[in-house]
Amino acid sequence: MNLRLIFCIAMGVFTAHIGVFMLIAQFKPKPKLTPPPKPNFFARATTVVNAETGEKTVFREITVSTKFAPAPSTPPPEKPTPPEVRPEDVTADRE
């Protein structure tokens, strides 16, 4: 047999295997996608026409809601208060 013919047969078998593997990969269940989060903003526009002048005014309102981080489970430590020093102790140390 010709070496070129053997190489062509091997490449054909390799290509067929790759095609079958790709076809099988299409049938595997894909992970569920989480739905996108709800938007945290809302926009509204109101148009008002002045009856006397005919002037048109547009009022735009944009509302953004923010969720703050949850409170820590333990409160932060308070600063220690320094010990009180009596005036007579200070004068005794200087002598």
Q: What are the tens digits of pLDDT across the range 14-23? A: 999 999 999 9
Q: What are the tens digits of pLDDT across the range 42-93? A: 899 999 999 888 899 999 999 888 777 776 677 667 777 777 767 665 555 5
Record the pTM.
0.32
Phi-psi sector, 19: left (phi>0), alpha (psi -120 to 50), beta: alpha
- What spatial distance separates the first Cα and last Cα of the chain, rounded to whole Å? 113
pLDDT of 55 reads 92
Enter the tokens of residue 44. 């509204």
pLDDT of 65 reads 83
Asked whether the predicted pLDDT for residue 95 surpasses 60, the reply is no
Enter the tokens of residue 86. 């009596």
pLDDT of 56 reads 93
Q: What are the tens digits of pLDDT across the range 4-44? A: 999 999 999 999 999 999 998 888 777 788 888 888 888 99
